[in-house]
Amino acid sequence: MTTPGLRAEIGRKAIHLAFLIVPLVMIHAWLPWPRTRAEWTVLLVVLVVIAIAIDVIRIHDRGVRTFFRRFFGDMIRRHEHTGLMGSTYLLLATLLAVDLFPRPVAAAAVGFTVLGDASAAIIGRAYGRIRFFDKTAEGALAGLVACLAWAAYLAGAGFIDLRVALTGALVASLVEFLPIPFDDNLGMTLFAGYAMSLLASTLV
């Protein structure tokens, strides 16, 4: 039996998982635009500005804030009522990854964040019993499995070296589990991206 909290988490992470289309488009180049780093940067800057503007209006305008609470309900976490939404942080993390890392590394890092965070949250909420750092071991394991699956996909398709991908998966999963004092979307993406970039540079 699903609880209201679990249903809200599933709804929240369903939106989160839909973002997986972004790293998939980045590596497969399915669309005619954007393709280059500059084009991706332009698109993501626009989306980040729009997302931040919506958040600012939502925080300071009572009517908009009420609309969001009625429409999204418990999918909005307590700290997001007075701060940026997780989706805004994810867009910002993607923008930084695109500008800081090679495209395969950026796509890998964003994918780890999307899949790992969503899997850890849903499984942890549904089946978590063993708790550490306000997280659950069951959720952390689910997040790791999801990250390893994404790493295997990228390496198997030839987009990234398997050793690099596995390193990113492990780092992203560790960051998600540890009580690091900033948003997981930023932390997982950037730490995994930097770890993969450093390892890739030693393998050239």
Distance CA 93, CA 188 (A): 9
Q: How many angstroms separate the Cα of 103 from the Cα of each of 78, 107, 203?
A: 34, 6, 17
| Residue 175, pLDDT score | 94
3-state SS of 106-162 is HHHHHHHHHHHHHHHHHHHHHHCCCEECCEEHHHHHHHHHHHHHHHHHHHHCCCCCH
Q: How confident is the model at residue 2 (pLDDT cuts 50, 70, 90)?
A: low
Torsion of CA 51, 57, 58, 64, to 10 degrees: -120
- Give yes or no for a contact between 152 and 177, defined as CB atoms under 8 angstroms apart: no
Domain boundaries, the chain: 4-203
| 16 has a pLDDT exceeding 90 | no
Q: Which run of H or of E encompasses 135? A: strand 135-136
Which one-letter DSSP state was computed for residue 32?
S
Structure tokens at 122: 């849903």
pLDDT classification of 167: cutoffs 50, 70, 90: very high
Q: Where is average pLDDT lowest: 46-55, 71-80, 106-115, 144-153?
A: 71-80
pLDDT at position 48, please? 97
Which two tokens mark 45? 């800057």
Could you tell me how many residues make up the chain? 204
What single DSSP character describes residue 76?
S
| pLDDT 10s digits, 20-30 | 999 999 999 99
pLDDT bin (cut points 50, 70, 90) of residue 172 is: very high
- The model's pTM is 0.92
Query: What pLDDT score was predicted for residue 173?
Result: 96
